[in-house]
Amino acid sequence: MSDVSNHMPTAELQALDAAHHMHPFSANADVAEKGVRVITRAKGVMLTDSEGNDILDGMSGLWNVNIGYGRNELADVAARQMRELPYYNTFFHTTHVPVIALAAKLAELAPENMNGVFFASGGSEANDTNIRMVRHYWELKNKPSKRIIISRKNAYHGSSIGSASLGGMAAMHAQGGLPIPDIHHIGQPDWWSEGGGKTPAQFGLERAQELEQAITDLGEDNIAAFIAEPVQGAGGVIVPPETYWPEIQRICDAHDILLIADEVITGFGRTGNWFGSETMGITPDIITFAKGVSSGYQPIGGSIVSDEVADVLGNSEFTHGYTYSGHPVAAAVALENLRIMEEENMLDHVRNVAGPHLREKWQALTDHPLVGQASIVGMMASIALTPHKDSRAAFASDPGTVGLVCRERSFANNLIMRHVGDRMVIAPPLVISPAEIDMLIERAWRTLDETHAHLKDNDMLKARS
Ligand SMILES: *Cc1c(COP(=O)(O)O)cnc(C)c1O
């Protein structure tokens, strides 16, 4: 077996990476010029790079390593499953034990009326499933005109052509002819950037009522579903005003449309409950899951489906599925991940230990001159950077310029924070301890100080007029 500690020198790895590896969501020439950081191993909440730096992973990888790194139980389960049955499919009237056990476990954890699970390898595939599933559902109910799916601007639902169409990322729609037909986007509940002079409560209600307006405009008979993340993740950890979700639920109930909660980030403890739907008090018809279900140790995702939807679909062949729908190794690893989360009371840790501690320290960041708003739900949080707190002004520079400066300072301080425009976001592993949270905050504070100094030196503290 090769020894990971005995790898090539960093410069050689970087050169090979630049020559052959095409990075997602990156300009490769830019990546090559700056040189990549090579992560070699990880334990708990800490990553180690090829130069021996220890980096606090404030993002749980890509919002997914909820249980933290280095859990040998998951490696053992994967090895055992690979020896016993490395692969078999779930098409053509066949199944296997890990997928049975995981589906049953997910049905147990999900809201009471949700007991069907359709598997995929990740969130994008699952949302592609959802597009076909909700349209097929209405076909089976003899309402084939119900095809439009309403989503939101600045939503993230994945990167495949279907899921990216559901998403509301303008930069993604600008490439490759997206969105596909019959997807409609309404405004997002981002009060900080878009709320103007309204109170958060007023604004939340108004943004929810855009859904009702869209239903009126497009015709209830043409609408299949509304999809949304309980808390937007990739859009910048946008926590909606409290008035938002109850009104959305009311509208979905009043009109005959399905509610899809994309819980790829908010599922599996991220908000302090098994699902963000519980935290936000909503009752979806379909839940999209991925990421935290396996803590990223294996790629797996899918759709948890209400009994009503499952019953309707059950009477005909759904001509849809992936080679790796319910992969046995991924399923076994996810099951073990969930077992450990329960055994170690990780939801309780988020609710009563790490969550409150992070909340207190994170909200105190608003004392920093650059930080206008701090938002947090469970273990996902954001800060909005601004040159002028009272007016909630944006910087004069192009959106994201300041955020990128801040992210680069953060990396230099051995803290992984992500920037979304000029918001900084974190979503640390759920297992993070209070002492590690203190370390995270200390590095974040230093990063903000350095960013502030940089902006001052370069005359970048001006507000957009
Ligand atoms: C990451 C993400 C997806 C896409 O999941 P992949 O596994 O990357 O395909 C979908 N929805 C949300 C909310 C996500 O955060």
Residue 264 beta carbon below 6 angstroms from any ligand 1 atom: yes
Give the per-residue pLDDT at 122: 98
Residue 5 pLDDT grade (very low, low, confident, very high; cuts 50, 70, 90): low
Q: pTM value?
A: 0.97
Query: Do residues 282 and 91 lie in contact, with contact meaning Cβ atoms separated by under 8 Å?
Result: no
Q: 37-67+345-457: which CATH number, 3.90.1150.10, 1.10.1750.10, 3.40.190.10, 1.10.940.10?
A: 3.90.1150.10
What's the CA gap between 309 and 305, in Å, rounded?
Answer: 6
Half-sphere exposure of 258 (CA within 13 A, CB side): 28
- The pLDDT tens digits of the residues spanning 267-305 come to 999 999 999 999 999 999 999 999 999 999 999 999 999
Q: What are phi and psi of 49, to 5 degrees?
A: -100, 175
Which atom of ligand 1 is the closest one to the Cα of 124? 9
Residue 4 scores a pLDDT above 60: no
Angle at 376 between CA 372 and CA 381, to 5 degrees: 80
CA 144 remoteness from chain centre? 31
Residue 389 scores a pLDDT above 50: yes
User: Among positive and negative, which fits the CA dihedral 114, 118, 120, 126?
Assistant: negative
Residue 10 scores a pLDDT above 70: yes
Distance 291 CA to ligand 1 centre (A): 7
CA 137 remoteness from chain centre? 26
Give the per-residue pLDDT at 174: 97
User: Among positive and negative, which fits the CA dihedral 83, 329, 271, 375?
Assistant: positive
Give the per-residue pLDDT at 465: 82
Which atom of ligand 1 is the closest one to the Cα of 263? 13
% residues pLDDT > 70 (the chain) = 99
Residue 6 scores a pLDDT above 80: no
Mean pLDDT of the chain: 97
Residue 1 pLDDT grade (very low, low, confident, very high; cuts 50, 70, 90): very low
Distance 5 CA to ligand 1 centre (A): 31
- The pLDDT tens digits of the residues spanning 360-371 come to 999 999 999 999
Substitution site in 156, 260, 270 for ligand 1 pocket (most atoms within 8 Å of beta carbon): 156
**CATH fold group of domain 73-343:** Aspartate Aminotransferase; domain 2 (3.40.640)
Half-sphere exposure of 112 (CA within 13 A, CB side): 0
Residue 152 beta carbon below 6 angstroms from any ligand 1 atom: no
Place of tokens 């990223």: 296
> Mean pLDDT throughout 248-254?
97
Q: Across 353-398, where does the E strand assignment appear?
A: 371-377, 380-385
Residue 234 beta carbon below 6 angstroms from any ligand 1 atom: yes
Give the per-residue pLDDT at 124: 98
- The pLDDT tens digits of the residues spanning 176-201 come to 999 999 999 999 999 999 999 999 99
Substitution site in 157, 169, 297 for ligand 1 pocket (most atoms within 8 Å of beta carbon): 157
Residue 263 pLDDT grade (very low, low, confident, very high; cuts 50, 70, 90): very high
What's the CA gap between 94 and 73, in Å, rounded?
Answer: 28
Each domain of the chain, given as residue ranges in start order, spans: 37-67+345-457, 73-343
What's the CA gap between 270 and 237, in Å, rounded?
Answer: 12
Please classify residue 427 by burial: count the beta carbons closer than 10 Å to its beta carbon, then call 0-12 exposed, 13-18 middle and 19+ buried.
Answer: buried
Residue 133 pLDDT grade (very low, low, confident, very high; cuts 50, 70, 90): very high
Residue 234 scores a pLDDT above 80: yes
Buried/exposed 251-261: b ≥16 CB within 10 Å, e otherwise: bbeeeebbbbb
Residue 78 scores a pLDDT above 50: yes
**Residues whose CB is less than 8 angstroms from the CB of residue 9 and which lie 6 or more positions away in sequence, other chains included:** none
Say whether 73-343 and 37-67+345-457 share the same fold: no
Residue 7 pLDDT grade (very low, low, confident, very high; cuts 50, 70, 90): confident
- The pLDDT tens digits of the residues spanning 40-49 come to 999 999 999 9
Q: What are phi and psi of 6, to 5 degrees?
A: -110, 45
Substitution site in 263, 291, 322 for ligand 1 pocket (most atoms within 8 Å of beta carbon): 291
Q: Within 10 Å of residue 75's Cβ, how many Cβ atoms?
A: 13
Give the per-residue pLDDT at 35: 86
